[in-house]
Amino acid sequence: MLAKAFGVAATEYRDIAVRLREAGVMTGEQAESVARLAGYPNRLVHFYHEIGNRELYEICASQLGDVDGAADAVAAWIAANTQRVDGNA
């Protein structure tokens, strides 16, 4: 979406949230939450031995709404700007 709609590339998952905030697709709060969560797969891969059930539960229980909110913001932007992301454009 970034490349098609804005001509911008992201080199890391965190960059996607930053660029979407800069483009006005997400709020600052949404982008911060998504950027924080985007770094989590690295933690899972490299520090899996430090991650406990409680930590995983807390993330799933307390941040699912953040993910839903960011996804809703992106979906709303796409719905309002289909000409910028449509494959036929």
Q: What is the pLDDT of residues 16-30, one digit of tens each?
A: 999 999 999 999 999
Q: How far apart are CA 89 and CA 83, in angstroms?
A: 6
Instruction: With cut-offs at 50, 70 and 90, classify the pLDDT of residue 78.
Output: very high
Average pLDDT of the chain? 88
pLDDT at 38 (0 to 100) = 87
Joined tokens for residue 9: 């590339």
Q: How far apart are CA 86 and CA 52, in angstroms?
A: 42
Q: What is the DSSP letter of 49?
A: G
Q: What residue has token string 């911008």?
A: 8
